[in-house]
Amino acid sequence: MSVKVERFSSPGKGNGLRAVSGVPAGGRVWSAAPLAACVSNTLTGEVCSGCFTRHQMAAEYFQYYVVILKAS
């Protein structure tokens, strides 16, 4: 059973999507692949905007990767 949805505008808040029929418990209302992703301003100094890893984790990975390459 698919749930029917409608787009609506909420003044001062933007657009939204709501179900216009009953939604069964645990039912999926909407599913879609993300169009874009970004790091919030509060985390820009801590998280890589390309891979979303914390900088410390990325630095540790890079050191490990360099050691592996030098050993090869």
pLDDT of 72 reads 54
13 phi/psi in degrees, rounded to 5:
-120, -20
C-alpha 23: how far from its chain's center?
Answer: 25
Give the start-to-end residue ranges of the domains of the chain: 38-72
Strand partners, 61: none
Q: Give yes or no for residue 9 having a pLDDT over 90.
A: yes
pLDDT digit string, tens, across residues 13-58: 899 888 888 888 888 877 888 777 788 888 777 777 777 777 666 5
In the DSSP assignment, the letter for residue 8 is E
Selection from 35, 28, 25, 26 nearest residue 5 by Cα: 28
Cα–Cα–Cα angle for 50, 71, 62, rounded to 5 degrees: 20
